[in-house]
């Protein structure tokens, strides 16, 4: 697997043992308080105990992905038209909805502010046989949606699915507004899009304000970086790729990895002052967001083809 596509913003290979590093930081923060117990050992401080709690942070890929093949039958069952361009694509490729659930477990009520997720389809014997990301969700267009409508609250329930054009769309009911939907495209279009018109889906999603960045579609890998504490307080993120797989392909393997972190800038002033007095390794780790250990897995999707 090429590591260039799956690197995270903070390289955890610099950290020999995350738990040990946080315990060391906690003890030194306790020492800096200057309070000693009966045996002249440092007394635990609130800041030190907070760091001990963070040893159990986790961001995990939640088991096997959800995989659903999109076919002509989906159009027939829904009574939806099959656009000419889509019909041509379905003659050459198979399309799969691949959904990666992520489980987050931040500790001590200090929520994660960032999640990074990478997936990569295995290289094929020939470039024309490579699986590629045809559509991805969530994408940057949802930021435009939130900015485009003052009627949308900071948190809105969505039903997300795939239209007859094989594009992601959402149906939801904002406060004091009629049925509105968001359809993929260069711009955020606020139009009626009932969930019943989805070829595939829907699945439920809570849209919250977040900064979403990602790689382009059309590649055999995808990278997401999503920032915003509200996103992770209310969600166990669901990240979806519509995989475009040449019909000749009989085996499909994908690698995935996830890492979560938080903004050290949001720490208390006293904790920031104490961390600034510690070793370079500890300072770099904290300013890097106290990231979790990456959870990386390889999946064989062949049984789902």
pLDDT in tens, 99-128: 998 888 887 667 888 999 999 999 888 888
Residue 36 scores a pLDDT above 80:
no
Whole-number mean pLDDT of the chain?
Answer: 81
* Per-residue pLDDT tens digits for 5-22: 457 889 898 888 999 999
**Given this model, what pLDDT does residue 167 score?**
87
- CA 297 from chain centre, in angstroms, equals 15
Q: Is residue 104 within 8 Å of 236, Cβ to Cβ?
A: yes
Question: How far apart are the C-alpha atoms of 291 and 263, rounded to whole Å?
Answer: 10
The mean pLDDT value for 54-70 works out to: 90
**Given this model, what pLDDT does residue 187 score?**
40
The mean pLDDT value for 280-294 works out to: 94
- Greater confidence, 2 or 59? 59
Question: How far apart are the C-alpha atoms of 147 and 169, rounded to whole Å?
Answer: 17
Confidence of residue 32 (pLDDT cuts 50, 70, 90): confident
Residues with Cβ within 8 Å of 81's Cβ and at least 6 positions away in sequence, in order, are: 75, 164
**Given this model, what pLDDT does residue 174 score?**
42
- Greater confidence, 72 or 183? 72
**Given this model, what pLDDT does residue 34 score?**
64
CA 97, 100, 101, 106 torsion-angle sign? negative
Residue 220 scores a pLDDT above 80:
yes
The mean pLDDT value for 55-70 works out to: 90
Residue 179 scores a pLDDT above 50:
no
Upstream peptide bond of 138 is cis (omega within 30 degrees of 0): yes
Confidence of residue 76 (pLDDT cuts 50, 70, 90): confident
Find, among 224, 64, 67, the residue nearest to 136 by Cα.
Answer: 224
Residues shown for the chain: 305
């Amino acid at each position: 697997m090429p590591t260039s596509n799956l690197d995270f913003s903070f390289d955890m290979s610099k950290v020999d043992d995350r738990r040990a590093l946080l315990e060391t930081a906690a003890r030194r923060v306790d020492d800096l308080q200057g309070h000693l117990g009966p045996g002249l050992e440092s007394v635990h401080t609130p800041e030190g105990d907070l760091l001990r709690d963070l040893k159990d942070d986790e961001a995990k890929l939640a088991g096997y992905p959800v995989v659903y093949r999109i076919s002509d039958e989906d159009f027939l069952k829904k009574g939806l038209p099959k656009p000419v361009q889509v019909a041509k694509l379905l003659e050459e490729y198979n399309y799969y909805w691949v959904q990666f659930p992520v489980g987050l477990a931040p500790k001590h009520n200090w929520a994660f502010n960032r999640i990074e997720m990478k997936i990569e389809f295995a290289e094929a014997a020939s470039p024309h046989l490579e699986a590629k990301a045809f559509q991805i969700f969530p994408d940057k267009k949802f930021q435009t949606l939130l900015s485009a409508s003052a009627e949308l609250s900071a948190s809105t329930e969505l039903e997300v699915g795939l239209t007859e054009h094989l594009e992601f769309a959402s149906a939801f009911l904002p406060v004091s507004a009629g049925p509105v939907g968001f359809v993929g495209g260069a711009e955020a279009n606020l139009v009626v899009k009932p969930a019943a018109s989805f070829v595939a889906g829907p699945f439920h999603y809570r849209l919250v304000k977040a900064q979403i960045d990602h790689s382009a579609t059309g590649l055999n890998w995808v990278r997401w970086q999503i920032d915003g504490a509200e996103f992770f307080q209310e969600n166990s993120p669901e990240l979806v790729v519509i995989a475009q797989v040449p019909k000749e392909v009989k085996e499909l393997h994908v690698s995935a990895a996830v890492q979560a972190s938080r903004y050290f800038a949001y720490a208390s002033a006293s904790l920031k002052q104490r961390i600034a007095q510690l070793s370079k390794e500890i300072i770099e780790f904290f300013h890097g967001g106290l990231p979790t250990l990456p959870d990386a897995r390889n999946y064989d999707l062949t049984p789902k083809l």
